[in-house]
Structure 1
């Protein structure tokens, strides 16, 4: 099960740092360099693009999950406090 919305690992990292800055957890946002899957060596082969999709949950059961950004803000608020 996953929250709604899509992002890359790079986009997620940037969002975490931006939210941490806004929450006062960080004084400065570090630079995050985007790389491709092929530039990140792992024993397991990785697809060039993959996302978790919860559209069937909404279509079949009428359940809409919150956007991942909402969860990030909630967690950052917990870290701050």
Structure 2
């Protein structure tokens, strides 16, 4: 039988509170937890901003658009 040396550490801090669930709103480096952040619906699709002009110092914006092939005619399709 093997023996293991264990050390018990009492009152251990478990780190800082999680802050990666929302956009920072300013020009600063950040990590973004997957599946977190604001979401909006538009024409039957879900739009999730990943970077807004606030985070990029007014240079650009990046988002994710998710939809389904079952969505009927939307403003993205030609008439």
**When you count strand as a share of all residues, which structure comes out higher?**
2
Bigger Rg over Cα: 2
**Highest relative contact order (Cα 8 Å, sep 6+), 1 or 2?**
1
Same fold flag (TM > 0.5): no
Q: What TM-score results when the alignment is normalised by the length of structure 2?
A: 0.18
TM-score (norm 1): 0.18
